[in-house]
Structure 1
Amino acid sequence: MEEVFVAMKLVFSVAVVGVLSWILYVYGSLWLESQRVRKRIQMQGIKGPPPSFLHGNLSDMQRIQAQASLAKASISTSNGSDQYVAHDCTATLFPYFEHWRKQYGLLYTYSTGMKQHLYINQPDLVREMNQCITLVLGKPTYLTKKLEPMLGNGILRANGISWSQQRKLVAAEFFMDKVKGMVDLMIESAQPILLKWEQTIESQGGATAEVKVDKDLRGLSADVISRVCFGHSYSKGKEVFSKLRSMQKAMFKHRGFLFGLGSFREKLSFKSKKQNEIANLEKEIESLIWELVEKRKRECSEASSSEKDLMQLLLEAAMSDQSLGKDFSKRFIVDNCKNIYFAGHETTAVAASWCLMLLGLHLEWQTRIRAEVAEHCPNGIPDSDSLPLLKTLGMVIQEVLRLYPPAAFVSREAYEDIQIGNLDVPKGVCLWTLIPTLHRDPEIWGADANEFKPERFSEGVSKACKYPQAYVPFGLGTRLCLGKNFAMVELKVVLALIISRFSFTLSPNYRHSPAYRMIVEPEYGVDIIIQKT
């Protein structure tokens, strides 16, 4: 019996040693390959922080993030100063990038575990990267895998041929001629919050009232995207938006979502609790969307109309190729609905919130916009013809998107070895461009880069800065945001309506704390004091 026990113990020991040896071999091989790639990058004169074995620079990133979190303090209001504008959110949201940028410049390399990265903020390389038309340069696979529950394999997450096919279908719906036809629906969607704010003023004495605008703007923007793209109002789709918002918050609760930062305990907690929550939300969202799809299919079969919304086009595209199968058709429709639901309302609502925050500090620009709207828009209501005439409003929106772009990154991964300008990028390397850093670089924008000066855009982007390709609130090149026209028109409509009816200042209760939750948004919302004009 004792001999059997000894034999079993020996077998177990051998098995353990074998497993450990295999793990060490695999990790060793991956580590050696990672270092080979790093050496190829360094041979081009590119420097970066030295990595540790297996973990790369993750420990450094955790340490720098922890130090920044301790040092972070809310910026208080005083005498309407520009300190909100001057506050660069990159230093608090991604302090390791700023730390290394000061050490190594606008081009450096670092690693997260076995994955090598290139930080690229040189304007010429940014242009080359964004205008690259090859399909071997796409969204980072490890990141898109994390975003799969929220975006599926829709256009925001897809790569290669799949992305190309989806873009061809969806892009046509957001051409300017189509967007101009959506203006009346945008105005209709804005009426409830305008009425709500007027009633709030009356309920608080009839002179002024304090409102938190971000939630209302999110609802407005959600209603717009529902009406123009899916043929129904926000009341029918608000449960989808609510659950998408809950998933967004759950996924980005930990600062380390992008790069695997955070303590071991946080990661275990995230996996055991948050992943279950996310999985349940994913099922609920997809079920709700499919119910709306089925309803839309019945409506389409019962009515004949030459005007087709995006939902109808998605249905037709998915059903036209029978070889793809029913499951693929359903997946294609649901995934792209999730993408458009999220991107179509969240980024625009956040941009509008930042606009109101900065306009609440700069009343003179409100006055100029109000006069412009009164001149070109009868009764303060814009239309497709008057919107292009609102030049001052356009300048303000562009400046707000420069200072607080909702998108923080342009990120790519090389699926094969690729040449970008004079840069040799090995297969598997991820490329990162920090948009806020580009938008606030004094070398590009001048010594007043941190100041709110919409007049810099008076002659367009080409004259606003030294390198126009460094202005990328909607990306650049082949993966330029499809909703750019839609977002700019909606922002003009909503802001023109608000400013023509109300004047406002930033509330003393406002807490300036930009947060990254897939987009850069005001962590505690935006509070303003409004009064009727």
Structure 2
Amino acid sequence: MEELLEIVLVVSTILLGLALVYLYEILWLRLEKIRKKLRRQGINGPKPTFLYGNTQEMKRIRQELKFVQRQDKDMNGYISTIFPHFLFWRKTYGPVFLYSTGVLEILHVAQPEMVKDMGHWTPSELGKPQHIMKSRKPLFGLGILAANGDLWAYEKKILAPQFFVEKIKGMIGLIVDATVPLLQSWENMLDGTGGSKEIYVDGYLRNFSADVIARACFGSNFVEGKDIFCKLRQLQKLISEQDTLVGLSAVWKYLPTKRNREIQKLDQEVRLLILDLSREDRSRSRSNNAGTHVSTYDNLLHAIVDGANQSPSYCSAPEDFIVDNCKNIYFAGYETTAVTATWCLMLLAAHPDWQDRARAEIREVCCGQTAMDIDVLRQLKILTMVIQETLRLYPPASLIMREALTGIRLGGVDVPRGTIIQVAISLLHLDMEAWGPDANEFRPDRFANGAAAACKPAHMYMPFGYGPRLCTGQNLAMAELKVVLARLLSKFSFSVSPGYQHSPVFRLTIEPESGMPLVVTRLA
């Protein structure tokens, strides 16, 4: 018996030793190899510590700058409160620096040539990081926003044609229809108030955008898809809170904590709802029942279901393929557009001169008609500039994260395999060398000659991403933004609420921390 215990003790000691060696390799030696290769090429950054990397310094910088008050003229300089460590390290080490979370080695890139070179690599060479695919799996699965390589290429082949301009032309009527309940709800709220009232507009815009993506892409409406949108919104909040955990605390993502159990529960509920929706769509397809503007048998969901049934062997199981890509479209198709519309109204409320100019153009182009088509939207030049400037100041996807899946070269720097490359879009969009000394100011006229002429170099403007993974749904997003803003500005004027506290927060997208209250006034 004693011999058996000794053997068990020896084996346990050996296993523990091997586990510690493995952890040391993963948490230090592997990252140190990456650091050495990059430092030899002149890439510097804050010195990391074992287990914690630079996370303690990140917390210290955030805490020190937490209560720093910005001047009103720097209203759009929210980077100093959301990502203060980026600003501090950039000032110390330059536009390219290296830092560690304790489990990841991150190369922060803001040098134009290196950013440009990122667009030259394929998703099989420079892909979505494995840790993001794991930590955000309940929200994205292996859909188009998270997949790499052949799977991503197949998903793009299935989804991209659904967002071509010809398809968007047929969706504009649906978008206009979706504005009707939004406008009516605000009209009802203003009755008996003298025609003016404070409204938290962000929730209404989120519902509107959800209705659009449900009608246009899934052959349903917001009422039918409400549970899916609400649960995905809850998932987004829980996962964004979880993403603030760095270093060793990241292991909590895999433990049976209360938050993780809630994430798993929501994930399963969303899965069942989406599969029910796909079964309903198949049933309607068989009956060949036409919808109002887009037939239910020719919508995005039908394309996803067909793609799942015909998918190559390297794809996930058909049900997973359907669920994951529907999640991606739901999130990317409504959350990012809704938050952009919210910031648009805030900026127009804060700059009444631009609000007046946009409204005058809308009246001239639309002539009081509610019907819209692609030609009408193309004539809204001022409104387009307003949207482009909003996307510059408040890009919905604030960070691009990629992993070098093989050794690559960026701007003359050899980046070793396993390095995480990070581009802070917000920093690029506020770079004074690219945009001029007024980079923090709301100036839509900088886009008067188009996005390519707004800054130098042109690729420093990337609200819809950059390179092969350029946002598939950008045509739909722009059409939706133009329609809803044109309809709202033709009916109401907006001013900033006296109680509004400007506090953008990072929840996978940049959004107002406590909602967006605006004073909405009915126009004569």
Q: Which residue of 1 aligns with 2:19?
A: 23
Paired residues of 1:251 and 1:274 also in contact (CA < 8 A)? no
Select which of 190, 197, 210 maps to 1:201: 190
Q: Closer, same or farther in 2 for the Cα pair 1:191/1:108, shift >3 Å? A: same
Matches of 1:324 and 1:301, distance apart in 2: 29
Moved more, 387-396 or 123-132: 123-132
Select which of 254, 265, 274 maps to 1:289: 274
Matches of 1:472 and 1:503, distance apart in 2: 30
Matches of 2:63 and 2:248, distance apart in 1: 10
Q: Closer, same or farther in 2 for the Cα pair 1:463/1:320, shift >3 Å? A: closer
Q: Provide structure 1 residue ranges, at least 5 long, that are not aligned to the other structure.
A: none
Q: Which residue of 2 aligns with 1:33?
A: 30
Q: Which residue of 2 aligns with 1:138?
A: 127
Structure 1 vs Structure 2: percent identity of aligned residues?
Answer: 42
Q: Closer, same or farther in 2 for the Cα pair 1:531/1:29, shift >3 Å? A: closer
Q: Which residue of 1 aligns with 2:393?
A: 403
Matches of 1:498 and 1:133, distance apart in 2: 41
Secondary structure of the residue aligned to 1:253 is: helix
Q: Closer, same or farther in 2 for the Cα pair 1:92/1:380, shift >3 Å? A: farther
AA at the equivalent of 1:36: K
Q: Which residue of 2 aligns with 1:50?
A: 47
Once the 2 structures are TM-superposed, how far is the Cα of residue 379 of structure 1 from its aligned partner?
Answer: 1.3
Secondary structure of the residue aligned to 2:374 is: coil
Paired residues of 2:123 and 2:148 also in contact (CA < 8 A)? no
Matches of 1:324 and 1:411, distance apart in 2: 24
Paired residues of 1:109 and 1:117 also in contact (CA < 8 A)? yes
Paired residues of 1:231 and 1:309 also in contact (CA < 8 A)? yes
Q: Confirm whether residue 366 of structure 1 aligns to residue 336 of structure 2.
A: no
Secondary structure of the residue aligned to 1:385 is: helix
Once the 2 structures are TM-superposed, how far is the Cα of residue 102 of structure 1 from its aligned partner?
Answer: 1.1
TM-score normalised to the size of structure 2? 0.93
Once the 2 structures are TM-superposed, how far is the Cα of residue 38 of structure 1 from its aligned partner?
Answer: 1.0
Q: Closer, same or farther in 2 for the Cα pair 1:300/1:129, shift >3 Å? A: same
AA at the equivalent of 1:225: I
Q: Which residue of 1 aligns with 2:207?
A: 219
Paired residues of 1:254 and 1:262 also in contact (CA < 8 A)? no
Q: Confirm whether residue 280 of structure 1 aligns to residue 259 of structure 2.
A: no
AA at the equivalent of 2:50: F
AA at the equivalent of 2:207: G
Q: Which residue of 2 aligns with 1:177?
A: 166
Once the 2 structures are TM-superposed, how far is the Cα of residue 358 of structure 1 from its aligned partner?
Answer: 0.6
Q: Closer, same or farther in 2 for the Cα pair 1:339/1:10, shift >3 Å? A: same
Secondary structure of the residue aligned to 2:181 is: helix
AA at the equivalent of 1:363: P
Select which of 213, 220, 223 maps to 1:235: 223
Secondary structure of the residue aligned to 2:118 is: helix
Once the 2 structures are TM-superposed, how far is the Cα of residue 380 of structure 1 from its aligned partner?
Answer: 4.9
TM-score normalised to the size of structure 1? 0.92
Q: Deviations over 1:221-271 (max 9, x none)?
A: 0000000000011110000000001111111225624x448699xx48985
Paired residues of 1:351 and 1:406 also in contact (CA < 8 A)? yes
Secondary structure of the residue aligned to 1:211 is: strand
AA at the equivalent of 1:50: K
Select which of 278, 283, 301 maps to 1:298: 283
Once the 2 structures are TM-superposed, how far is the Cα of residue 16 of structure 1 from its aligned partner?
Answer: 5.2
Once the 2 structures are TM-superposed, how far is the Cα of residue 15 of structure 1 from its aligned partner?
Answer: 4.9
Q: How does 1:147-166 map to 2 (within 5 A)?
A: 147-166=136-155
Select which of 355, 368, 379 maps to 1:379: 368
Q: Deviations over 1:324-368 (max 9, x none)?
A: 89x811111111111101110000000000001111101111111
Select which of 75, 80, 88 maps to 1:84: 75
Q: Deviations over 1:59-105 (max 9, x none)?
A: 22233233344x266x79xxxx54423xx222222222222111101
Q: Closer, same or farther in 2 for the Cα pair 1:153/1:419, shift >3 Å? A: same
Secondary structure of the residue aligned to 2:332 is: helix
AA at the equivalent of 2:29: L
Q: Closer, same or farther in 2 for the Cα pair 1:170/1:83, shift >3 Å? A: same
Paired residues of 1:256 and 1:262 also in contact (CA < 8 A)? no
Once the 2 structures are TM-superposed, how far is the Cα of residue 516 of structure 1 from its aligned partner?
Answer: 1.1
Aligned length: 516
Q: Closer, same or farther in 2 for the Cα pair 1:262/1:513, shift >3 Å? A: farther
Matches of 1:419 and 1:240, distance apart in 2: 42
Paired residues of 2:493 and 2:522 also in contact (CA < 8 A)? yes
Q: Closer, same or farther in 2 for the Cα pair 1:89/1:283, shift >3 Å? A: same
Secondary structure of the residue aligned to 2:233 is: helix
Paired residues of 1:62 and 1:262 also in contact (CA < 8 A)? no
Moved more, 192-201 or 14-23: 14-23
Q: How does 1:254-403 map to 2 (within 5 A)?
A: 254=242, 256-257=244-245, 259-260=246-247, 267=252, 272-303=257-288, 307=295, 308-321=298-311, 328-381=317-370, 382-403=372-393
Q: Confirm whether residue 521 of structure 1 aligns to residue 511 of structure 2.
A: yes
